[in-house]
Amino acid sequence: MEPSLEKLTASVQIQPKSENMEIKTIAHVDNAANQELEFILAVEFSDSPGKFVIKEISQSGHPCRYRLGRDRVFVTPVQPADQAEIKFVYTGKPRQDPDDFITAKEIVLRMDGAWLPTIPSSCADFDVTIRHPSGYTFFGQGICEGKRIIDDESTESRWTLKSGNGFTLYGAPEYKVKRAVVKDTEIIIAVWPRDANLLDELSDIVTTIMQRLTRVFGSYPYPVVRIVESGRWNGKSAYGAISNVSIGYQMLRKGIDKVMVAHELTHGWWGGIVPSRHESLHRGQWNETLAEYTSGWALEPDEALALRRRWSQNYASLDESSDRPILQIGSYTSHWKVNEAITYHKGALLMTSLEDRIGPEALMKALATFVRTREGKPSGWEDLLNAIGEQSDADTITWLRDWLSKSSAPRLILEELKSEEKQLLGKLIQEGDSLFEGRVEIGVYRDDKLLGIEWASFKDKVNSLEVRLPNRVNRIRLDPRFRIPRRYDPDMPEFYKL
């Protein structure tokens, strides 16, 4: 069996003014027998000013041999065993990049920031004690076990998190805080003092979205969720760690985006209660696809339609030379705009197509099965496909796997259209070298009014079209509700006149 991290106990001293930190940890490792242990830790970064310096790695008081790699420490246990405790002592700065940093004004240490030693694709219990200047407030993950004043200058707080694949921490000199409760979950909203005017609005939006999500999913997986304002990526980014969401200050000030809030909250399930395998960061971030898709479940119908339109147009706008299969892309392997268009937007549209293929009830059952069977187990697309297979059939899984494995999407056009006895006849052409199988909606209109929806199937290059026409139809439109991934020119009108 592969080594895995069972528990990590850490003592962390943060020094915001010097942008430094000192850390001591004990990593409790299962299956540490006769092999190097691969730990993720930010010890070598040629393109970053941050770097940790190892002071000690030991087992039972005896120094361990180790070697360093980019973002990795490879440790050889002194005493290989089924269970081993490896001690790390290191100092220095985190990455000090737009994602993870310590400054006098703010601290952002994400679970993906490699600031605590973890083993890839492990899910562990975290017990993290933070010592910091008393003038700062910190928000961690899981349960805050208490806070105490050490002296006039230092404060200490302890945080415990069950079954996570990392630990996230935010801090700043001051926040304005508001609390709310949805079912059994406490919601803590924390913004910087200059944005206190946004506190009530943000709290109302988060509370409403949480109510809608829990009606679909059931109770939120954690007793507390913290929504914290952040300067990450110059305030332009959000991040949905388990029960600890950050929202960039620019995102808040431009107008609170319900979709963004819903997306980050749904990570409590997708990447939270079901953690993602480390390999998902470069081979299919199913957790981001699901979070984007299910964020629409927290919206009103017109808002969900606008969201699907955004997915469709953003993916269609992606240069075809940059297009790649969903299973071969992630935040570690592509530019953000490419990853967003494929993983988030194409992926969400593909899940929408799956919903139309098997029905929303079957899909919800599949996701419930996924949560039940994969809780606390680092998972990938294959595990999700297995859960979907229990609520569908082999043909559906083959269909879904085909879409996940191919670059691009169909480019569909209508040709040779004619109406005969309340029927529209013609051809549905699928352009391109790679053929897809699926169904597309045909919207029938009188001027700008949508009169009805019909479905047309495609599989070959040329597919026959036969659609029922209500009275007084004068034009039609492909995919009027934006429910499949496809390639088209977003700037061109898509209506066909009859």
| Domain range list for the chain | 4-99+114-148, 176-266, 278-405, 411-497
State mean pLDDT over 148-176.
94
Q: How confident is the model at residue 9 (pLDDT cuts 50, 70, 90)?
A: very high
Sheet with 37-40, strands from edge to edge, namely: 37-40, 72-76, 65-69
Q: Which two three-digit tokens encode residue 23?
A: 């850390």
| pLDDT of the residue at 472 | 86
| pLDDT of the residue at 403 | 97
Distance CA 98, CA 104 (A): 15
State mean pLDDT over 418-430.
90
pLDDT over threshold 70, residue 46: no
Least confident of 18-22, 45-49, 378-382, 422-426: 45-49
| pLDDT of the residue at 47 | 64
State mean pLDDT over 35-48.
83
| pLDDT of the residue at 495 | 85
pLDDT over threshold 70, residue 204: yes
State mean pLDDT over 315-343.
93
Percent of the chain with pLDDT over 90: 86
The dotted CATH code for 4-99+114-148 is: 2.60.40.1730
Instruction: Find out whether 206 and 224 touch, Cβ atoms under 8 Å.
Output: no
Return the residue matching tokens 């949480």. Answer: 210
Residue 468: CB atoms within 10 Å = 12
Least confident of 73-77, 212-216, 316-320, 328-332: 328-332
Distance CA 204, CA 146 (A): 28
Q: What fold, for 411-497?
A: Immunoglobulin-like (2.60.40)
pLDDT tens for residues 256-271? 999 999 999 999 999 9
pLDDT over threshold 90, residue 481: yes
DSSP, residue by residue, 401-470: HHHHHSSS--EEEEEEEEEETTEEEEEEEEESSS---EEEEEEEEETTEEEEEEEEEE-SSEEEEEEE--
* CATH superfamily entry for domain 176-266: Neutral Protease Domain 2 (1.10.390.10)
Q: How confident is the model at residue 152 (pLDDT cuts 50, 70, 90)?
A: confident
Distance CA 378, CA 39 (A): 16
State mean pLDDT over 1-9.
93
Looking at every residue in the chain, the average pLDDT score rounds to 94
Return the residue matching tokens 């990593």. Answer: 27
Rounded to 5 degrees, what are φ and ψ at 209? -65, -40
Cite the beta strand spans of 134-232 per DSSP E. 137-139, 143-149, 154-164, 169-172, 176-182, 185-191, 224-230
| pLDDT of the residue at 42 | 92
Which of 88, 80, 130 has the alpha carbon at shortest distance from 109? 130
State mean pLDDT over 127-146.
96
pLDDT tens for residues 72-118? 999 999 998 999 999 999 999 999 999 999 999 999 999 999 999 99
Taking the model in full, what pTM does it have? 0.93
Residue 188: CB atoms within 10 Å = 20
Q: How confident is the model at residue 332 (pLDDT cuts 50, 70, 90)?
A: confident
pLDDT over threshold 70, residue 45: no
| pLDDT of the residue at 50 | 80
Whether the domain at 4-99+114-148 and the domain at 411-497 fall into the same CATH topology: yes
pLDDT over threshold 90, residue 214: yes
Which of 270, 396, 291 has the alpha carbon at shortest distance from 343? 291
Distance CA 446, CA 473 (A): 5
